[in-house]
Amino acid sequence: MILVTGGAGFIGSNFVLDCIATEKSPIVNLDKLTYAGNAGNLASLKGDARHIFVKGDICDRALLARLLHEHRPSAIVHFAAESHVDRSIHGPADFVQTNVIGTFSVLEEARSYWSSLAQPEKGRFRFLHVSTDEVYGSLGPDEPAFSETTPYAPNSPYAASKAASDHLVRAYHHTYGLPALTTNCSNNYGPLQFPEKLIPLIIINAVQRKSLPVYGDGLNVRDWLYVGDHCAAVRLVLHRGRAGENYNIGGGAEKTNLEVVNAICTILDEIRPNALITHHSSLITHIKDRPGHDRRYAMNAKKMADELGWKPGERFETGLRKTVQWYLDHLDWVENVTSGAYRKWLDINYGHR
């Protein structure tokens, strides 16, 4: 039994679906169902006794204690977080609450539960904390990619709150011996990503012939990883990673935002031509930059390769094509998640730029 937090979000739901399909391990899934969480992502598990969904907040320590004692998991995989940089700029409080206080709550209850275990369960228990490359700050064009020893230098409220949570996880291992591991991953893309993030936002806007907002000059670089490859890496670290270690996970696919947006447009020109526009790229609009916008992220995933034999299975070009096709095939899902609150967000973030 694994306790997953945030398993109704983008990466968490991909992880839960993958785990149940490939490992058959039962999962208790604790998720608050914020705007980013969608129980519908897990609809295919309805009636499957291996998936127990609990709507609740990771800050609720009594609930966490109850779930741990009732289900006696052998691991916690902690995805739950506020995850969008732009939202952290407009409203950082939720990020401190969930990412810092929430992670602290999960750690405290995990520590108490783990301390109560007898061997061999105690020795086998794992706490896996899912984090991001953004904790390392921004790279210059010729600097080497982030490694596990790169000093932390978070620049956005989101990155700072994730860095704080990473530090707590480290301290719980160092001080109390909690068998914790942290993964720091680059930008993910793929099915079920909430359309506030670059790739789904661009796909959906392009299909609707709306403008494609590119911040600043569009030359910021991200290292893109297909979500299924991230989930496989998390499972490997969970089973074979060394407690107390950090693992950097990356796609080895550095792209400027303009390259990403143009690639989506080219795929759409081919598979969803629009009679009213020759090239979807004609919808690209440069808008005012994000404050404090990190210029470049790149991950050195050598430790994952050397220690655990992991490498991404999906190339960016094929993963992006699959992703575009998934959104075209799931416009009903898009319709479902883009509620009034989503439209309000678009107005807050894009209305005055």
Catalytic residues, which ones?
133-134, 158
Segment 147-166, which members bind ligand TYD (CB under 6 A)?
none
3-state DSSP call for residue 184?
strand
Gyration radius from the chain CA atoms = 20
- Using the rule CB under 6 A, is 136 a contact of ligand NAD? no
Query: Min. distance of Cβ 344 from ligand TYD in angstroms?
Result: 16
Whether residue 267 contacts residue 189, with contact meaning beta carbons closer than 8 Å, is answered with no
- Residue in 18, 26, 33, 243 binding ligand NAD, rule: CB under 6 A: 33
- Using the rule CB under 6 A, is 58 a contact of ligand NAD? yes
Segment 65-94, which members bind ligand TYD (CB under 6 A)?
85
Of 5 and 220, which has the nearer Cβ to ligand TYD?
A: 220
Counting residues that bind ligand TYD (by CB under 6 A) gives 12
Q: Which amino acid is it at 59?
A: C
- Using the rule CB under 6 A, is 262 a contact of ligand TYD? no
Query: Min. distance of Cβ 275 from ligand NAD in angstroms?
Result: 34
Residue 31 binds: one of ligand TYD, ligand NAD, none (C-beta under 5 to 8 A by kind): ligand NAD
| Burial class of residue 340, CB neighbours in 10 A (0-12, 13-18, 19+) | exposed
- Using the rule CB under 6 A, is 187 a contact of ligand TYD? yes
Segment 332-351, which members bind ligand NAD (CB under 6 A)?
none
Query: Min. distance of Cβ 279 from ligand NAD in angstroms?
Result: 28
What Cα–Cα distance (Å) separates residue 77 from each residue in 27, 173, 321?
A: 10, 15, 29
Among the listed residues 176, 60, 191, 62, the one whose alpha carbon sits nearest the alpha carbon of residue 127: 176
- Using the rule CB under 6 A, is 9 a contact of ligand NAD? yes
3-state DSSP call for residue 28?
strand
259-265, long-range: CB < 8 A, 24+ apart: 260/198, 260/199, 260/202, 260/222, 260/224, 260/320, 261/198, 261/202, 261/212, 261/214, 261/218, 263/316, 263/317, 263/320, 264/199, 264/202, 264/203, 264/206, 264/320, 264/324, 265/206, 265/212
- Residue in 164, 192, 214, 337 binding ligand TYD, rule: CB under 6 A: 214
Peptide linkage before 151 cis (omega within 30 of 0): no
Residue 29 binds: one of ligand NAD, ligand TYD, none (C-beta under 5 to 8 A by kind): none
- Residue in 32, 197, 230, 303 binding ligand TYD, rule: CB under 6 A: 197
Whether residue 292 contacts residue 91, with contact meaning beta carbons closer than 8 Å, is answered with no
Q: How many CB atoms are closer than 10 A to CB 52? A: 17
- CA–CA separation, 345 and 87 (whole Å): 9
- Using the rule CB under 6 A, is 201 a contact of ligand TYD? yes
Among the listed residues 38, 42, 49, the one whose alpha carbon sits nearest the alpha carbon of residue 1: 49
Stretch binding ligand NAD (CB under 6 A), from 10-18, 136-144, 236-244, 261-269: 10-18
- Residue in 28, 76, 107, 198 binding ligand TYD, rule: CB under 6 A: 198
C-alpha neighbours within 13 Å on the C-beta side of residue 320: 23
Q: Which amino acid is it at 121?
A: E
- Residue in 183, 184, 220, 262 binding ligand TYD, rule: CB under 6 A: 220
- Using the rule CB under 6 A, is 59 a contact of ligand NAD? yes
Catalog residues that contact ligand TYD under the rule CB under 6 A.
Answer: 85, 187, 197-198, 201, 213-215, 220, 222, 257, 290
Contacting positions for ligand NAD (CB under 6 A): 5-6, 8-12, 31-34, 36-37, 57-59, 79-83, 98, 102, 130, 132, 162, 185, 187-188, 194
